[in-house]
Chains A and B, each alone.
Chain A
Amino acid sequence: MTENAKFTATLIAALFAAWLLSGDRFLDLVFEMVDLGRLDDIVIEGAVILEDAKANLGLPDIFAALRGVLHWVLGV
């Protein structure tokens, strides 16, 4: 594996982990996207499966906690 491939793989894995530890929902993004016609059903179904899997893991929403702290520090 090249250094660049390692970089890309780690970046995606880290962003995926960040999503797991956040309350953000893929489903909301999917509904904001351009209408993909027949593909929409497949994408929505995939997003629902991912969301369910994430919910079943029961991981804490660390992102929201961090957000609360940072907003408190920033005074906003």
Chain B
Amino acid sequence: MVFPTLQFILFFALVLVLNGLVWSRGTWRKALLIAASYTFYAAWDVRFLALMAGVSAVAWIGGLVPSRAARIASVAALIATLALFKYFNFFALSLQQLLNATMFARDMQWISIILPVGVSFYIFQAVSYVIDAHRGHITPRRNPTDVFLYISFFPQLVAGPIVRAAHFLPQIDAPVVPDAAARALAAVLILMGLFKKMVVANYLSVLLVDPAFALPEGQNTITAIAATLGYAVQIYCDFSGYSDIAIGIALLLGYRFQRNFNQPYRAASLREFWQRWHISLSTWIRDYLYIPLGGNSGSVLRQTCTALLTMTLAGLWHGAGWNFLLWGFLHGAGLMAERVLRPRIRLPQAIATALVFGFVCLLWIPFRAADPAETVAMLGAVVSPTGFAPVDLSVTALVLIAIGIAVNWLPMRWLPATQSALARLPAPAQAGLLASGIWLMFAAAQDGVAPFIYFQF
């Protein structure tokens, strides 16, 4: 079940009504939201409900057990589960290719494991729950429904934001009735998210990005750059759009998530980019991987190794493929280069922002490409003045790129200002505006709904 569908609207309308009816009954409210979340997940594949329940059970037990060894074992079990479901196929294929390249070539019969949607997100939440309990940042819950709801809460289940237990668990006990300001913010975020996803990201994908990346060797400099820019806008609008909708629908149910994107292409350094892009993942990696590995301490060599390892693993989190490894590694290398060069070279803000944007866009090529060969072909097209089959650059695609970049550069005050204006309206007018906006977005959208890019992670 994907957010921008009539199916989800029907589902959410029902949950919203029932949530209002059981608002004052804590146990019923939790049971309702767990049931709704499991129904939401079952719409993809009912077989993986057991996996999600198992992950939740391991996190719940891991949080409660007093011994350090048992907690480490539960984290290891969670990471092993992620590795099995997400990386088994990749490592099996890589091993097969390695064997084929040697004298030990043989056709091995591997089982193929289906990737459960959102598995990286909810396992990361489960891991952070156990570690936070171990560190004393949260009080582990005795009631399993609290942990099951935390892991499975449907607005953030399949593509984040990766919510921290310390932020979410207190809200389970006492969700806040959405007031006029919360409803206004929810409406703005939902409509903005739908616009970014259904109009900007989906059309850019169909009109420009997919055709260009389907035949990268046929592109020329202009179409290759346009496709790369198009993808930079598409992935931003796709993923931040999802986050906006997730935050908005959670708000309507009485729960607040922290923001996941903060106009990332404004960043004047790579470090700043990662403080603005997929914030919930960046902070997760910082707190549970980078700092425990040594962080900014130790020699320059050690810091470099830590940054490279962390970012390479962050790349691998996005997908089981060499292109994602390369993408993460190069971001790590960029961060280290920036750390060394920044004290020596002072650039004007505009030039630094342009350089960072260019670097990030360049690295979107391996991220988007299906394999290293496609990456090389697209990079070759960037420096090739002619192509034998360049895509048609439609005005619509160029306008959508401009709109996507403009969205990233909206004045910082636009959101509070819009929220404030909407908050002054009576509740029925707010609802009418939201419903009309949803209708308009559905009308503007293309037929069929492309899944969100981050679902595959």
A interface, CB within 8 angstroms of B: 2-12, 14-15, 17-19, 24, 29, 32-34, 63, 66-67, 70-71, 74-76
Contact B7 A11 (CB under 8 A): no
Q: Name the B residues within 8 Å of A15 (CB-CB).
A: 9, 13, 435, 438-439
Number of interface residues of B (CB under 8 A): 39
* Interchain CA distance A70-B439 in the complex, whole Å: 12
| Interface-centre pick from A17, A19, A70 (highest chain B CB count, 10 A) | A70
Given contacts A11-B435, A15-B439, 12 further A-B contacts (CB under 8 A): A3-B180, A4-B20, A5-B20, A7-B430, A10-B432, A17-B435, A19-B6, A66-B440, A74-B444, A75-B394, A76-B203, A76-B207
* Interchain CA distance A5-B428 in the complex, whole Å: 9
Q: Name the A residues within 8 Å of B395 (CB-CB).
A: 75
Contact B439 A63 (CB under 8 A): yes
Contact A29 B177 (CB under 8 A): no
**25 A-B pairs whose Cβ atoms sit less than 8 Å apart in the complex:** A2-B177, A3-B180, A3-B427, A4-B177, A7-B428, A7-B430, A10-B427, A10-B431, A12-B16, A14-B431, A14-B435, A15-B435, A15-B438, A15-B439, A18-B435, A18-B438, A18-B439, A34-B39, A63-B443, A66-B440, A66-B443, A71-B444, A75-B394, A76-B203, A76-B207
Contact B396 A75 (CB under 8 A): yes
**1/0 contact string of B192-213 vs chain A (CB within 8 Å):** 0000000100010001000000
Q: Within 8 Å of chain A (Cβ to Cβ): is B118?
A: no
Partner of A34, one of B42, B178, B440: B42
Q: Within 8 Å of chain A (Cβ to Cβ): is B436?
A: yes
Contact B396 A74 (CB under 8 A): yes
Q: Name the B residues within 8 Å of A74 (CB-CB).
A: 199, 203, 396, 444
Q: Within 8 Å of chain A (Cβ to Cβ): is B43?
A: yes
Q: Name the A residues within 8 Å of B427 (CB-CB).
A: 3-4, 6-7, 10
Q: Within 8 Å of chain A (Cβ to Cβ): is B183?
A: yes
Q: Within 8 Å of chain A (Cβ to Cβ): is B341?
A: no
Contact B183 A4 (CB under 8 A): yes
Q: Within 8 Å of chain A (Cβ to Cβ): is B10?
A: yes
* Interchain CA distance A74-B431 in the complex, whole Å: 27
| Shortest CB distance A65–B (Å) | 9
| Shortest CB distance A34–B (Å) | 6
Q: Name the B residues within 8 Å of A67 (CB-CB).
A: 443-444
8 A Cβ contacts from B31-74 to A: 39, 42-43, 46
Q: Name the B residues within 8 Å of A33 (CB-CB).
A: 7, 43
Contact A11-B20, Cβ < 8 Å, known A18-B439, A29-B6, A74-B396? no
